[in-house]
């Protein structure tokens, strides 16, 4: 049984170092246990560990981690927690990788449209994230269909849980199979029009059935989602694979619910508009959605990597340093020359990793474009994710993020963030941005049922490689060990997204420790080999 992720208020500390910071090695305490042939003794939580005897040399560290994104920082936290000295090198000027935010006129604007779930197991297993504050969306989603809003899912948390969510406490809503059944039945409950629709006679229209259909159709959907919610992730990963698009017809769900709910929801969760991803990954995404709550880090996406970096030893993160070559015993950098080490963990994106390790597989990627608008009044007052069941425009999903996390916008302003899967296909010039913005505004006017002509565009962020593709056949546990002393992690080694990044980091750290003979468990919980 996956236990809920209990969150507390975060204390975010920025640890970004200035570019081109000189390399200052962080060495293990000479008084700590060493073993020239690989350690076999269990060590205490504060004991530093050397992977091999250095004869008193101080110009090396145990492990160099290349890349200060989420995967690299999480791997570093696991390794330092096991007593190893670690140096994290990042080519950019700040930590975070894809999970970075831009500050514009009092707004905090995420560069990616990544959605998180409170039910991700690695949020509870990664050192440092126990104090991460998450802001939750309302349960379920809001569907726009034929000019009306329909709710897919109602609140199934107790009153105390809802109060905790408002404070930023991310509570998992499901405890075991019984909780999963209850939660998912609520998720698939009768859709209700979000706002009463008055007739010309002044009397409200009867509630339209919406894309989920009538009671019998909703019951079938509830059964399917309940089964996915109650199935352990390792069993989902053992199922035969087809594309997610093909799998939709095999769920036994009415066509209206497939096209109006499951398809747009999976496109948003997977970042894959055509649903070419493996059905296993689609099942995992629905499992996480049904057993938790959609959420975002309080204060911006960069709060999560900054929290990871804040817990590392001083001097162990260096930004503005580009690695040009790696081996099992050193890395070569453009700014600091050669740095000796006993192991290297490559935690960059797939393409950058392959540039340093020729022959490493580079998957295809899905592009995404994030547009941030501001307006005087929020077009929706509820902190809910809005999907277009009709798929009548470029926007895959949108939300008034200032209602989800008020700290992302200055007082008196609303922040509307929308994600386009793909685009822009042409040059990223001002004209291209203007054309896309006009198309998105027209779509948002229909989705929110309000004029967007006076909305102000704050920023557009496009990432051509936002999400590693998980096309069939997809290996959700690609090897993280290249050879003894050389390892690779990132969501391109497993399942795309934050859960995949954190899990790959823990797998890579465990491989480093196993090769070193260090027998310290990284975290309580189920086996490392269980992906979710």
Q: What percent of the chain has pLDDT over 70?
A: 74
Query: What's the whole-number average pLDDT of the chain?
Result: 81
Q: Which residues of 412-427 are buried (b: 16+ CB within 10 A; e: fewer)?
A: ebbbbbbbbbbbbeee
d(CA 284, CA 531): 9
Of 131, 429, 398, 425, which Cα lies nearest the Cα of 268? 398
Q: Which of 457, 398, 451 is nearest to 430 (CA)?
A: 457
What CA–CA distance (Å, rounded) separates 211 from 190? 10
Name the percent of the chain lying above pLDDT 90. Answer: 69
Residue 391 contacts residue 266 (beta carbons within 8 Å)? no
| In the predicted structure, residue 316 carries a pLDDT above the cut 60 | yes
pLDDT given for residue 214 in this prediction: 86
- The 10s digit of each residue's pLDDT in 48-88 is 333 433 333 346 899 999 999 999 999 999 999 999 999 99
pLDDT exceeds cutoff 90 at 194:
no
- Mean pLDDT of the region 24-32: 30
Give the span between the Cα atoms of 285 and 229, in whole angstroms: 10
Q: Residue 531: pLDDT above 80?
A: no
Confidence of residue 173 (pLDDT cuts 50, 70, 90): very low
pLDDT at 177 over 50: no
Pull the structure tokens for residue 462: 């496009």
**Among the ranges given (20-24, 103-107, 112-116, 512-516), the one the predictor scored with the smallest mean pLDDT:** 20-24
E-only strand ranges, 98-209: 101-104, 107-110, 116-117, 134-136, 141-145, 148-152
305 burial via Cβ count (<10 Å: 0-12, 13-18, 19+): buried
The dotted CATH code for 12-102+112-139+298-363+475-532 is 3.50.50.60
Sketch the domain layout of the chain as residue ranges: 12-102+112-139+298-363+475-532, 153-197+211-292, 365-468
pTM for this model (two decimals): 0.81
* pLDDT the model gives residue 211: 87
pLDDT at res. 432? 72
Place of tokens 């950019």: 92
Question: Can you give the pLDDT at residue 527?
Answer: 36
Number of H helices, E strands in the chain: 15, 20
pLDDT in tens, 375-407: 999 999 999 999 999 999 999 999 999 999 999
Helices 70-81, 303-310: crossing angle, 10 deg rounding: 20
- Between 347-356, 422-431, 523-532, the lowest mean confidence (pLDDT) is in 523-532
Q: What is the pLDDT averaged over residues 19-30?
A: 30
pLDDT band at 104 (very low <50, low <70, confident <90, very high): very high
Banded model confidence at residue 212, pLDDT cuts 50, 70, 90: confident
**What residues are paired with 460 via a beta bridge?**
371
Residue 219, pLDDT score: 86
Cβ-based neighbours of 458, under 8 Å, separated by 6 or more: 104, 105, 107, 109, 372, 373, 374, 415
Residue 204 has pLDDT above 60, yes or no: no
Contact residues for 395 (Cβ-Cβ < 8 A; gap 6+):
388, 418, 419, 420, 440, 443, 444, 447
Q: How high is the pLDDT of residue 208?
A: 58
Q: Which of 119-128, 296-305, 419-428 has the lowest mean pLDDT?
A: 419-428
pLDDT, tens only, 226-242: 999 999 999 999 999 99
SS (H, E, C) 42-73: CCCCCCCECCCCCCCCCCEEEEEEECCEHHHH
Q: For position 34, what pLDDT does the model report? A: 26
Any residues with CB less than 8 A from the CB of 120 and at least 6 apart, and which? 5, 288, 292, 498, 499, 502, 532
> What are phi and psi for residue 409, nearest 5 degrees?
-140, 150
- 140 within 8 A of 383, measured Cβ to Cβ: no
Predicted pLDDT at 59: 60
Question: Peptide bond preceding 473: is omega within 30 degrees of 0, i.e. cis?
Answer: yes
> Is 162's pLDDT higher than 80?
no
The confidence score (pLDDT) of residue 154 equals 53
Band of pLDDT at residue 223, cut at 50, 70 and 90 = confident
Report the CATH fold assignment for 365-468: Polyamine Oxidase; Chain A, domain 2 (3.90.660)
Residue 207 has a pLDDT of 54
Question: Residue 1: is its pLDDT beyond 70?
Answer: no
d(CA 279, CA 476): 11
Helix (H) or strand (E) holding 228: helix 215-230
Give, in degrees to the nearest 5, the angle at Cα 433 between 386 and 404.
Answer: 30
């Amino acid at each position: 049984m996956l236990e809920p992720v209990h969150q507390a208020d975060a204390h975010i500390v920025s640890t970004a170092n200035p570019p081109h910071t000189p390399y200052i090695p962080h060495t293990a305490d000479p008084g700590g246990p060493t073993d020239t042939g690989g350690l076999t003794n269990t060590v205490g939580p504060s004991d530093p560990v050397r992977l091999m005897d250095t004869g008193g040399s101080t110009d090396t560290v145990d492990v160099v981690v290349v890349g200060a994104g989420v995967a690299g920082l999480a791997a570093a936290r696991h390794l330092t927690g096991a007593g190893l000295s670690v140096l994290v090198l990042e080519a950019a000027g700040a930590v975070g990788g894809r999970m970075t935010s831009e500050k514009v006129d009092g707004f905090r604007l995420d560069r990616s449209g990544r959605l998180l779930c409170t039910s991700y197991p690695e949020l509870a297993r990664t050192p440092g994230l126990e104090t991460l504050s998450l802001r939750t969306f309302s349960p379920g989603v809001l569907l726009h269909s034929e000019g009306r809003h329909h709710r897919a899912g109602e609140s199934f948390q107790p009153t105390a849980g809802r109060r905790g969510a408002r404070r930023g406490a991310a509570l998992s809503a499901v405890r075991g199979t019984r909780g999963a059944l209850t939660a998912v039945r609520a998720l698939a409950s009768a859709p209700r029009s979000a706002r009463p629709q008055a007739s010309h006679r002044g009397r409200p229209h009867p509630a339209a059935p919406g894309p989920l259909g009538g009671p019998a159709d909703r019951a079938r959907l509830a059964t399917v989602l309940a089964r996915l919610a109650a199935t352990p992730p390792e069993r989902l990963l053992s199922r035969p694979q087809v594309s997610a698009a093909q799998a939709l017809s095999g769920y036994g769900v009415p066509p209206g619910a497939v096209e109006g709910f499951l398809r747009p929801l999976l496109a948003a969760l997977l970042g894959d508009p055509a649903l070419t991803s493996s059905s296993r990954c689609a099942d995992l995404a629905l499992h996480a959605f049904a057993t938790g709550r959609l959420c975002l880090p309080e204060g911006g996406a960069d709060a999560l990597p900054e929290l990871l970096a804040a817990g590392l030893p001083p001097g162990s993160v260096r930004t503005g340093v580009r690695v040009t070559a790696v081996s099992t015993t050193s890395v070569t950098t453009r700014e600091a020359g050669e740095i000796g080490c006993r192991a290297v963990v490559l935690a960059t994106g797939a393409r950058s990793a392959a540039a340093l390790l020729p022959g490493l597989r580079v998957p295809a990627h899905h592009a995404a474009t994030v547009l941030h608008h501001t307006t005087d009044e929020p077009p929706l007052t509820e902190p809910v994710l809005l999907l277009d069941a009709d798929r009548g425009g470029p926007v895959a999903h949108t939300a008034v993020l200032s209602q989800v996390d008020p700290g992302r916008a200055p007082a008196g302003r609303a922040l509307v963030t929308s994600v386009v899967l793909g685009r822009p296909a042409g040059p990223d010039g001002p004209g291209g941005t203007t054309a896309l913005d006009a198309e998105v505004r027209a779509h948002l006017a229909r989705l929110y049922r309000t004029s967007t002509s006076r909305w102000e565009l704050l920023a557009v962020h496009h990432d051509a490689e936002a999400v590693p593709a998980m096309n069939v056949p997809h290996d959700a546990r690609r090897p993280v060990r290249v050879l003894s002393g050389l390892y690779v992690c990132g969501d391109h080694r497993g399942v795309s997204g934050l859960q995949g990044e954190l899990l790959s980091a823990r797998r890579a750290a465990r491989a480093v420790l196993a090769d070193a003979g260090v027998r310290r468990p990284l975290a309580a919980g189920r086996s490392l080999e269980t992906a979710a």
